[in-house]
Structure 1
Amino acid sequence: MNPDQMRDASLLELFQIETRTQVQVLNDGLLALEQNPTSAPHLEACMRAAHSLKGAARIVDLHPAVRIAHAMEDCLVAAQEGRLRLQAADIDALLLGTDLLQRVATPGVDLDAEIGDLVARLSSAPNAPPALPPRPPRPSDFLPPIVLLEDAPDAPVAVPAPAPLDAPAPAAIPSAPSRRSSDRGLGEGERVLRVTADTLNKLLGLSSETLVESQWIAPFSASMLRLRRIQAGAAQALDSLRSVLAGQQLDARGQAALDDTQRILDQCQRELTQRASEVDEFGWRMNHLTRRLYDTALACRMRPFGDGLGGMARMVRDLGRSLGKQVRLEIDGEDTQVDRDILEKLDAPLMHLLRNAVDHGIETPEARAAAGKPPEGLIRLSARHSAGMLLVELADDGSGISLDQLRAEVVERKLTNAETAARLSEAELLEFLFLSGFSTRDEVTEISGRGVGLDVVQTMVRQLRGAVRVYQQAGQGTRFVLEMPLSLSVVRSLLVEVQGQIYAFPLAYVRHALQVRAEDIEQLEGQQHFRFMDRQIGLVSARQILRAGAPAPAADTLPVVVAGEHDRLYGIAVDRYVGERTLVVQPLDPRLGKVQDVMAGSLMDDGTPLLILDVEDMLVSVQKLIEGGGLSRVDSGTEAATARRRKRVLVVDDSLTVRELERKLLLNRGFDVAVAVDGMDGWNMLRAEDFDLIVTDVDMPRMDGIELVSRIKADPKLQGLPVMVVSYKDREEDRRRGLDAGADYYLAKGSFHDDALLDAVEDLIGKART
């Protein structure tokens, strides 16, 4: 390829990129002008887009595109100057022009006849001036191009070779495309770079590993805290030795040895105190920086929701016109951030739902008028974040769904009998819409009735680890809600323990997390059940599903994760709840193939590996066990035995944040925890209830921690109760004051870590169960 050909090829690629951007501007603007033909901002935006495409087409010698863009620009200028009021036919012609501009940018396509018809339509618009010959170049046409390559095709874009010195100046240079929604957060002068998805995934993986590795600092800090306690014990032992030797006469060498020992211990104490403080400070900075790194890497994968909606408003408008309906699409939450992979995979289900809403939901103008509605139907598409999930709603103001017709269709298809169908609730009945091949249409059209129903939408949403629900109101419309995780790179999960191993249930699949009493478990038809929300739910053992060893020991209560839908709703009994975590998804090695009941892997904050469960797969495994008669009991005994008593801890702190943090840490370790809001509240609880340990702050209203400790140690019934002081005061005199009052342990919040608190609790009273 000679330099001239290379230059032409690269410029054509640039033109194709700019065409995609400017056509989207034109589509959006023309749809807005259809609602308000005199809107000056939209007329200006459309005119500038057409003008930019005309100049860009000149530079690549694409004369058919020049003709199209020039005719569109003249029509829009006439509308700007008031010589033309845009009608529906004009909008149709201009939209056809945008379609032709995209097609004409493909080499080898002959569109001369269609272009001629379009130019004639635009030139014959009332009061529109005849098409003018191309204008001579302007100085502004020779500005260098600015091209955003973020969403460019994977084909490389070559840089044009420099023109020879004696070469004529080009007629025009493509102008910079307008900023897209994905560029809204960019300031002037900021650059946009093209980065592959694999590179972003690797960056996110490395940042998550860094975040995990930074957690190893906490155990080091806790070990230094233990060294300080050991050193304090050595100092006490030396003080005791001095007391023993106080009545004896020591020679100079013995006294010097004691003095040296005291000096060394004092030096060790100062060094340990300083180093512990430095490690804590470093750990805090490292955690903060790694968290920022991870959040920034995650943000690189996010795009505005509006970036994935190109062409949807146009599709709704064109489809409505082809069906003789007036339909408008409104979009809310265009700036809502969505994972790139999710945004890409949402295109097909949203398109299907939009076509379904136009065809099935929105009525004809005559039917809407008879129902007292405006002739134009409205479809509203919105996106927002809620409780760590992405919610996408698509609602129309059409006729809704006829439940009687749906009920009859279910019976006719022999999906259930008439008696059962009559008892089905509205929610249960609407679930039939998601069955494969289910449709309420009798006739076959280009849009519906081909056996491809909402099951396609549900299948694709489930692939995104989400769920879809439908709501309707007769005569008022239908609403679909798609609930998905914010990102496929991370998943909010419920962590549980099964046979000593940690597993994660994605929260999108968890309906409820319960504690089921043993006496509430019933045996029905060979399977264990419990009653919840007015229905019987089958109970299965996670140990059996995951093949994780013998049944769990009998207990008074069972932690149960409720998962599934309607007739496939099961309670999965686990050993204990660990808590909620946001996990970075680590795909399993593809050489392993599909691992049964497992979706992916991940790491906990301390680096412990765990498996993220495939709940859909687990429900299939449960069904197989039931059908094969191999389902076992969730416990190893014939009756639930009395559980070992859990030790009780009273947390006394006036700070809600600290109080809740300590409570959750102790609960997750298995302790029974009560809380008090200050010293007086704690003292009253102590006299009314029994506890195995008190964890108290120092500075509190009404009664501080030192007075509380003093009262406990002065009370004959309570003086044997262990007390731990947790305070921000880290000075030696503060620690000495707490211990002198009778506290058994003094832990500074400045060096507070989860393991430090839990290790100290277990040092004082042992494990959670007796």
Structure 2
Amino acid sequence: MTPDQMKDASMLELFRLEAEAQTQVLVQGLMALERNPTQADQLEACMRAAHSLKGAARIVGLDAGVQVAHVMEDCLVGAQEGRLLLTSGHIDALLAGTDILLHIADAQPERAEQAQQGVPAMVERLQALVSGKAPAPPTAPVSAPVPELVEPPAPAVEPPAPAANTPAPAERAPRRRSSDSDEAGERVLRVTAERLNQLLDYSSKSLVESQRLKPLLDSLQRLKRIQASASRVLDGARDAASTANLDAEAQAYLADARRLVGECQQLLSEQIAELDEFSFKAGQRAQSLYDTALSCRMRPFSDVLSGQARMVRDLGRSLGKTVRLDIQGATTQVDRDVLEKLEAPLTHLLRNAVDHGIESAEVRARTGKPEEGSIQLLARHHAGMLVLELQDDGAGVDLDRLRSAIVRRQLSTEETVARLTEEELLSFLFLPGFSMREQVTEVSGRGVGLDAVQHMVRQLRGGIRMEQVRGQGAHFHLEVPLTLSVVRSLVVSIGGEAYAFPLAHIERMRRLASDEIVQLEGRQQFWHEGRHVGLVSASQLLQRPDGEAAPDEIPVVVIRDRESAYGVAVEKFLGERTLVVVPLDTRLGKVQDVSAGALLDDGTPVLILDVEDMLRSVEKLLATGRLERIDPTGRLLGPARKRVLVVDDSLTVRELERKLLLGRGYDVAVAVDGMDGWNALRSEHFDLVITDIDMPRMDGIELVTLIRRDTRLQSLPVMVVSYKDREEDRRRGLDAGADYYLAKASFHDEALLDAVVDLIGGAHG
């Protein structure tokens, strides 16, 4: 490359930097002018930005850029002088011109060539607007393409970092982007993201190491107390020796020992004081170093919003709607890695709000709403998390349409859907591939919906929930960590080892008394915030041996997702800690139920649990019937035995069947007739019913009929064991709903047990 070519390349890079900064000014100003076309300060800012880009394009020899910027400047000057009143059509054209100026010198040749090809039509369109003629409709979209949700968009192109020992060009400093610094006079130094990551890693480890001084200081304090006790013992020995007439040599030894202990105490007191001061200062320095390193990676939330307001506005116009995005908390600081991963889910939620939420102007007018729809996005810090509130004033979710979509997609029956609560219905929106649109459009209907948003938020160790009021709009609440380098966690002991639950995924921690655990539908549960929650053992989930048993109460960590909640029983709570995340070696692949590692203050390694993975593990244990019970001390009792109800008026038959089933490990209850059996079924859980036919008060046919009519019991397996072995008797029992018919005439031990295994499997699944 010749020196002239190198010079041209450098100047072109400078133009790209200036174009990025000035087009941001233009986009923000033009969107403000669309709401207030005569706003003088915004007109002035936009005119100056266009003028600056015209001059910069002339310097680098981009004639096409000069033409576009010049006619844009003419349009804005006309508005300043009152000769032209800006309308939405003018704003569309000016925004399209802004896109061309941004991409005309793009590093990607295809995008730059496409922008160059659109220049003549754009200049003609703008000239027609300035002269008051009706412009031709644009032949290309007015805004840049919006990032797809499935793959997070690439971050905005930043200039490459200068090579080592290569000074930055001093003849002309490029105009910095507004996000590069909060103060106009602050100097900016470009550092690679890799070096920032290394700095944050070292500083976080330094913070952890400094915290190890406190346990050491505590141990020295204990040593000091032991020495004080030893000193008192020696004083007592010396006093006793003085009355016991010990020889002079022994008394001298005692005096020397007392003196040495006193010197040790004095020296230890001095060292403890020095170590205490050093620990305090080292902790402060390590915290300051970590905070400074972390702040280097922190960016204002507005960085992820670049172009979002424009996207909302352009998408609304393409759908025939007028929509405004209001943002609060744009200066909220967040780790740049978190920001990059937030862009795609935020973009989808905003597009979803415009397409599904905001109604057309005609519908809004009929319901008494302003013609312009509003989407509000709030960002704030709370308890070490970034909280995002996204709310629109649209129509909300039509629950009737949602029910129809659920039934149409065969996700549930019409009867079941009719009984679901609003929260349960909304949870279907987060299922993979679910969409309420019957036809695919450019915006919706592809099935890439809220499930992808939820997945990406969970990858950030965060959570999302949705609320809505029909006719008033939807509200999304997102919480993600401010940084991925540290995680605030609850450290617990499981199987004698330390594990950490990220606080963002914990609903509550509590201690369960033994009388709070109940057996419902064959599973251990407890009452929590108005509902029964299943109880599982952390040692079974993580395949750890039972550790120290809890004496009185069982420590439980309540975890949940949108559909279900579980209480995970642990051995003890070790406390809340801020842990520096240490990724696991990639050669290990995905470790079940574990997301990363960390070190505690004393250097003890700890595994950070993947709560979402744990929830899936619980579901697998439930589905296979291998979930083990927990005794009142927290120890495992093994899997719950399957329960069988034997209903027969013959004492001999009842006892025979009961003993056979007990011998195979089943839990057996008996009933003396159909009425007794029906009462037992309504109050307890059973996995199988074995019933006779001829019984007083209620016979077996009536009992089977009642079971099949009850929505809770209709899927319960039923076996009929009867002396009647005629074909019509067998047909009568099966027609009533029995799953198996066994004649007592051909009855023998193995026939009954084989039939039970066929119906419900072994006693422990």
TM-score tier by shorter-chain length is: 0.7 to 0.9
- Closer, same or farther: CA 497–82 of 1 in aligned 2, 3 Å: same
Asked if the contact 1:328/1:377 (under 8 Å) is kept, the reply is yes
**How far apart are residue 151 of structure 1 and its match?**
6.9
Is residue 115 from structure 1 mapped to residue 119 from structure 2 by the alignment?
yes
SS at 2:629's partner residue? coil
Aligned length: 610
Tell me what 1:85 maps to: 85
Is residue 46 from structure 1 mapped to residue 24 from structure 2 by the alignment?
no
Is residue 470 from structure 1 mapped to residue 470 from structure 2 by the alignment?
no
Asked if the contact 1:357/1:396 (under 8 Å) is kept, the reply is yes
Tell me what 1:36 maps to: 36
SS at 1:578's partner residue? strand
Instruction: Please give the alpha-carbon distance, in whole angstroms, between the structure 2 residues aligned to 1:350 and 1:219.
Output: 44
Instruction: Please give the alpha-carbon distance, in whole angstroms, between the structure 2 residues aligned to 1:179 and 1:384.
Output: 23
* Percent of aligned positions that are identical: 57
- Closer, same or farther: CA 52–174 of 1 in aligned 2, 3 Å: farther
Amino acid aligned to 2:217: S
Instruction: Please give the alpha-carbon distance, in whole angstroms, between the structure 2 residues aligned to 1:206 and 1:490.
Output: 13
**How far apart are residue 449 of structure 1 and its match?**
1.7
For 1:408-427, what aligned pairs fall within 5 Å after superposition? Answer: 408-427=404-423
Is residue 385 from structure 1 mapped to residue 381 from structure 2 by the alignment?
yes
SS at 1:622's partner residue? helix
Matching residue within 514, 517, 528 for 1:532: 528
Asked if the contact 1:562/1:572 (under 8 Å) is kept, the reply is yes
Deviates more, 1:521-530 or 1:306-315: 521-530
Asked if the contact 2:580/2:599 (under 8 Å) is kept, the reply is yes
Instruction: Please give the alpha-carbon distance, in whole angstroms, between the structure 1 residues aligned to 2:51 and 2:311.
Output: 25
**How far apart are residue 450 of structure 1 and its match?**
2.2
Is residue 453 from structure 1 mapped to residue 413 from structure 2 by the alignment?
no
Asked if the contact 2:19/2:102 (under 8 Å) is kept, the reply is yes
Q: Deviations over 1:428-447 (max 9, x none)?
A: 11111111222222232211
Asked if the contact 1:51/1:69 (under 8 Å) is kept, the reply is yes
**How far apart are residue 181 of structure 1 and its match?**
3.5
Q: Deviations over 1:552-591 (max 9, x none)?
A: 7475421122222354322211111122222111100111
Asked if the contact 2:161/2:192 (under 8 Å) is kept, the reply is no
**How far apart are residue 514 of structure 1 and its match?**
2.1
SS at 1:487's partner residue? coil
**How far apart are residue 265 of structure 1 and its match?**
5.5
- Closer, same or farther: CA 79–435 of 1 in aligned 2, 3 Å: same
Q: Deviations over 1:332-367 (max 9, x none)?
A: 110111221121111111111111111111111111
Tell me what 2:158 maps to: 153
Q: Deviations over 1:209-246 (max 9, x none)?
A: 11222233234433433443344345445544654566
Q: Deviations over 1:506-544 (max 9, x none)?
A: 122212222222222223344322232332222111101
Instruction: Please give the alpha-carbon distance, in whole angstroms, between the structure 2 residues aligned to 1:359 and 1:372.
Output: 20
SS at 2:113's partner residue? coil
Deviates more, 1:411-420 or 1:74-83: 74-83
- Closer, same or farther: CA 289–525 of 1 in aligned 2, 3 Å: same
SS at 1:193's partner residue? coil
Q: Deviations over 1:102-123 (max 9, x none)?
A: 2211356165663233333333
Give the TM-score normalised by the residue count of structure 1.
0.73
Tell me what 2:475 maps to: 479
Q: Deviations over 1:153-182 (max 9, x none)?
A: 36456889999xxxxxxxxx9774364145
**How far apart are residue 271 of structure 1 and its match?**
3.0
Matching residue within 564, 572, 577 for 1:576: 572
**How far apart are residue 254 of structure 1 and its match?**
9.6
Instruction: Please give the alpha-carbon distance, in whole angstroms, between the structure 1 residues aligned to 2:335 and 2:586.
Output: 23
Amino acid aligned to 2:354: V
Tell me what 1:183 maps to: 181
Matching residue within 631, 634, 638 for 1:635: 631
Amino acid aligned to 2:478: L
Asked if the contact 1:389/1:483 (under 8 Å) is kept, the reply is yes
User: What are the ranges of 5 or more consecutive residues in structure 2 without an aligned counterpart?
Assistant: 134-154, 638-765
Asked if the contact 1:17/1:152 (under 8 Å) is kept, the reply is no
- Closer, same or farther: CA 554–6 of 1 in aligned 2, 3 Å: closer
Deviates more, 1:326-335 or 1:297-306: 297-306
- Closer, same or farther: CA 633–63 of 1 in aligned 2, 3 Å: same
SS at 2:344's partner residue? helix
Asked if the contact 2:207/2:286 (under 8 Å) is kept, the reply is yes
**How far apart are residue 601 of structure 1 and its match?**
0.3
- Closer, same or farther: CA 47–177 of 1 in aligned 2, 3 Å: farther
Instruction: Please give the alpha-carbon distance, in whole angstroms, between the structure 1 residues aligned to 2:228 and 2:167.
Output: 74
SS at 1:447's partner residue? coil
**How far apart are residue 400 of structure 1 and its match?**
1.3
Asked if the contact 1:378/1:397 (under 8 Å) is kept, the reply is yes
Instruction: Please give the alpha-carbon distance, in whole angstroms, between the structure 1 residues aligned to 2:224 and 2:549.
Output: 40
**How far apart are residue 414 of structure 1 and its match?**
2.1
Asked if the contact 1:492/1:582 (under 8 Å) is kept, the reply is yes
Instruction: Please give the alpha-carbon distance, in whole angstroms, between the structure 2 residues aligned to 1:162 and 1:616.
Output: 50
**How far apart are residue 466 of structure 1 and its match?**
1.6
Amino acid aligned to 2:268: L
Tell me what 2:486 maps to: 490
Instruction: Please give the alpha-carbon distance, in whole angstroms, between the structure 2 residues aligned to 1:162 and 1:585.
Output: 39
Asked if the contact 1:224/1:276 (under 8 Å) is kept, the reply is yes
Instruction: Please give the alpha-carbon distance, in whole angstroms, between the structure 1 residues aligned to 2:426 and 2:416.
Output: 14
- Closer, same or farther: CA 449–105 of 1 in aligned 2, 3 Å: same
Asked if the contact 2:74/2:130 (under 8 Å) is kept, the reply is no
For 1:112-151, what aligned pairs fall within 5 Å after superposition? Answer: 114-126=118-130
Asked if the contact 1:13/1:157 (under 8 Å) is kept, the reply is no
Instruction: Please give the alpha-carbon distance, in whole angstroms, between the structure 1 residues aligned to 2:207 and 2:362.
Output: 61
Is residue 280 from structure 1 mapped to residue 276 from structure 2 by the alignment?
yes
Amino acid aligned to 2:127: S
Instruction: Please give the alpha-carbon distance, in whole angstroms, between the structure 1 residues aligned to 2:615 and 2:169.
Output: 64
Matching residue within 359, 362, 367 for 2:358: 362
Matching residue within 332, 345, 348 for 2:344: 348
Asked if the contact 2:489/2:501 (under 8 Å) is kept, the reply is yes
Is residue 516 from structure 1 mapped to residue 528 from structure 2 by the alignment?
no
Q: Deviations over 1:399-434 (max 9, x none)?
A: 111112212222232222222212211111111111
Amino acid aligned to 1:177: R
Asked if the contact 1:10/1:157 (under 8 Å) is kept, the reply is no
**How far apart are residue 272 of structure 1 and its match?**
2.9
Tell me what 2:758 maps to: none
For 1:609-624, what aligned pairs fall within 5 Å after superposition? Answer: 609-624=605-620
Tell me what 1:739 maps to: none
Amino acid aligned to 2:178: R
Asked if the contact 1:554/1:635 (under 8 Å) is kept, the reply is no
User: What are the ranges of 5 or more consecutive residues in structure 1 without an aligned counterpart?
Assistant: 130-149, 164-172, 642-770
Instruction: Please give the alpha-carbon distance, in whole angstroms, between the structure 1 residues aligned to 2:528 and 2:248.
Output: 81
**How far apart are residue 253 of structure 1 and its match?**
9.6
Amino acid aligned to 1:531: W
Asked if the contact 1:400/1:473 (under 8 Å) is kept, the reply is yes
Give the TM-score normalised by the residue count of structure 2.
0.74
**How far apart are residue 15 of structure 1 and its match?**
1.5
Tell me what 1:298 maps to: 294
Matching residue within 569, 580, 586 for 2:582: 586
For 1:89-104, what aligned pairs fall within 5 Å after superposition? Answer: 89-104=89-104
Tell me what 2:12 maps to: 12
SS at 1:303's partner residue? strand
SS at 2:289's partner residue? helix
Amino acid aligned to 1:364: S
Deviates more, 1:194-203 or 1:3-12: 194-203
